[in-house]
Amino acid sequence: MNEDTLTTLVARGLVDSVIQDFNQYANKLLELKKERKLPYISRQDVMKEMDISDGTLDNWEKHGLNRYKPRYKTTLIYYLIDDICKFIIIDT
């Protein structure tokens, strides 16, 4: 096998991988956004819909996931759905 053939195979593999990751991102985004009026999702809903623990979300925040809180005094925490989807793709 010559170098050009190997380069072509590697490039195809990378393109396939990028397409697969994009499709995974797009499907998860659609799933999370269906029937939502706001672009935010609560911490509890993220844990429930993604089947993850509180500790996992804390770990994601340590690695760059932004949290949003209302300005008034509350314990409610929200995330942008787009941020969750982007973070999942980056994390995998």
What pTM was computed for the model?
Answer: 0.55
Cα dihedral 24→39→78→83 (10° resolution): 40
- The count of C-alpha atoms lying within 13 angstroms of the C-alpha of 78, restricted to the half-sphere facing its C-beta, is 12
pLDDT of residue 82: 85
pLDDT of residue 79: 92
Share of the chain above pLDDT 70, in %: 85
Give the tens place of pLDDT for each residue, 8-19.
Answer: 777 788 888 888
pLDDT of residue 32: 66
Tell which wins on pLDDT, 90 or 87: 87
